[in-house]
Amino acid sequence: MSVLDLPLIIEGNELAPLLGQDGLLVVDLCQQPTYNQYHIPGAVHIEYGQIIAANPPVQGLVPEAADLERLFSATGIGNDTHVVAYDDEGGGKAARLLWTLEIMGHQRMSMLNGGLYAWANDGHPLDAGVVEAMPATFVSHYSAQPIAEADYILQHLDDGDVVLIDARSRDEYIGRQMMSSRGGHIPGAKHWDWQDIMDPLNNQRFKASSELKQALTDRGVTPDKEVITYCQTNHRSSLTYIALKSLGYTQVKSYPGSWSDWGNREETPIEK
C-alpha cells in the first residue's frame, strides 16, 4: 500500500510501514501530556481546541478559514499531504479534524482505527517528546458541502429524503440530561450513541461494517438518503460522520454547534 491510495479508515499494520514516507503526516490529537509521553513516531500534535471555535453559548463552531490555513501550514499540512489523524478516545477528535479538513477542501486523509490504544496494544512503536513540525503551505478551498446549519435543518425537517442522527447519550436525547437551555432532540432525529460505533473489546476500533450497517438500517438510515449528524458540539457526531463515509454513505453532513446551538435557540422545535 502506498501513500497515494490509503483508505479513510486505516489499521495500524497498514500505517506502520509507511511512517516517514514523503507526503504522509501523522497528526496526534491526544491531550498534550499524553502526546509528550506516548505518540506514534514522527507524529505532530494539534490541540483539539485549535480546530474548533465558540460563540457562547454555542460551542464546536468552525474557525475562520484564515486561522485554519495558518494552523495547518504551521503543522506541516500542505494541500497534497495525506493526513492520518488519531486520538486516545476512539476517534471523535480525529474525526473532527478530518471533517474540518474536508470543509477546507482537503481530500487526502485517513483516521487510524482505534487510535493510540489500538496502536499501542498491538505492539507498534511509540516515541516520547515533541516532534517539531516542518511548515508547509495550506491554501483553503472552502466547501460548505459537509455542513448543515440550523436553517438548513429547519428547511428539511419534513423531507423524507433527509434523516438526522443524534449521537449523544440516551439521557441527552430524551431531555433527561440537559447541557443547553432546553433539552430533547431535533424532531424526527434517530438516536445512535457514538459509543455504539466503537468496539471496547477491540481497542475502540469500529465495530464490523456489517454490524454498523445493520444498526443504521434498523433506524431507517439508508445510503439513498442525505444524513445529518449532530451531538452537543459536533465532536461525537464527527465520528458518526466519518463512520458513515467509511460505510459508503455519500450524502453526509454534520451540524457545527449541534445541540449547543439548537437547544439554546428559542424558535427551534424539539422533541423529548
Residues marked active site are found at: 231
Query: 34-73 burial, b for 16+ CB within 10 Å, e for fewer?
Result: ebeebbbeebbbbebebbbbeeeebbbbbbeeeebbebbb
Q: What CA–CA distance (Å, rounded) separates 61 from 22?
A: 32
Q: Are 166 and 236 in contact (CB under 8 A)?
A: no
Q: Is 215 exposed, middle or buried (0-12, 13-18, 19+ CB in 10 A)?
A: middle
Q: What CA–CA distance (Å, rounded) separates 122 from 125?
A: 9
